[in-house]
Amino acid sequence: MGLVLWALIERRPHLKHRLLLMALSMFLIFGNEVLYNEVMLSLEPAYIEPHTGQYDILVVLGGYAEYNSRGAEIEFFQSSDRLNKALALYKSGKVKTLLISSGVHPEGAPSLNEAALTSDWLQSCGVPLKDIIKENRSWNTYQNAFYTRQLLDSLGRTEPILVISSASHVNRAEACFKKQGLEVQMLAVDHYSSEKTYGITDYFFPKMRRVLDWEVIIKEKAGMLVYRIQDYI
């Protein structure tokens, strides 16, 4: 969009044409379905169903919901697959305890943090409070792992844990938890990529939504770099 706007106000014809060509090229590249899906496939691990009885604690990483002040209730995002799958595993008896890790809250309303909202929602779905652990101080993935380790140590829990997050995010999350000395298995949900046979339109017709979806890839690649520099992983 910046290149297009620049081209609109540019008076030199040769530069105007170059700017428009650059904008078109970026759209063709980053809007390409095949390129996007192949890059995302390399980033996202496949879903693996956990074995029954192997893990007592399932850690649910936040970032899937927020407080909706208009409805005075929790409001879910696309990444809420994290919570839905966690609830399904609990209901099926594959995990015994759900540990919700997120202190994110609306500005000026710490009591409405994501962990608290999630705990209330889980109880409305029939999960007893005794099977819910709230970690309500973390605001990022590093803090998810750091405060979860502190909380588990305070409870005397040292067994391996299952950690659930969006597929694009599990590599960085796993590195953070292992850095804290925790034995974890990652559970990937909310996949952006798909195993599919490409059609002719996927190769040659760009899609605007794919241009926007590259934000997820860029965020994770940049996040891994920053976390390495900060020695979080």
Residues 6+ apart with CB under 8 A from 186: 45, 163, 164, 165, 170, 173, 174
| pLDDT at residue 20 tops 80 | yes
- CB-based burial, 111-135: b 16+ in 10 Å, e otherwise: ebbbbbbbbebbeeeebeeeebbbb
How is residue 166 written in tokens?
């969006």
User: 208-229 and 141-155 helices cross at what angle (nearest 10)?
Assistant: 60
Residue 162 φ/ψ region, left for φ over 0, alpha for ψ in the -120 to 50 degree band, beta for the rest = beta
159: which DSSP letter?
Answer: S
In tens, the pLDDT along 48-107 reads: 777 666 789 999 999 999 999 888 899 999 899 999 999 999 999 999 999 999 999 988
> Mean pLDDT score of the chain, rounded to an integer?
93
Q: What pTM was computed for the model?
A: 0.88
Cα-flanking dihedrals φ and ψ of residue 100, to 5°?
-95, 120
- pLDDT of residue 111 exceeding 70: yes
Q: Domains for the chain: give ranges and CATH numbers.
A: 1-30 (no CATH), 33-233 (3.40.50.620)
> What pLDDT sits at residue 200?
93
Residue located via tokens 């017709």:
205
| Percent of residues, the chain, with pLDDT higher than 70 | 99
Q: How many CA atoms lie within 13 A of 172 on its CB side?
A: 26
Contact 194, 44 (CB under 8 A): no
Q: How far apart are CA 78 and CA 62, in angstroms?
A: 12
- The mean pLDDT of 138-146, rounded to a whole number, is 96
DSSP-derived 3-state class of residue 41: helix
Map tokens 């925790």 to a residue: 182
DSSP-assigned letter for residue 50: P
Q: Is the pLDDT of residue 137 over 90?
A: yes
DSSP summary character for residue 191: -
Distance of CA 99 to the CA centre of its chain: 16
Q: Is the pLDDT of residue 162 over 80?
A: yes
Q: Provide CB contacts within 8 A for 46, sequence distance 6+.
A: 188
Give the model confidence (pLDDT) of 194-204 as tens digits: 988 999 999 99
β-bridge pairing 97-101 and 73-76: unpaired
What pLDDT score does 52 carry? 62
At residue 88, the pLDDT reads 95
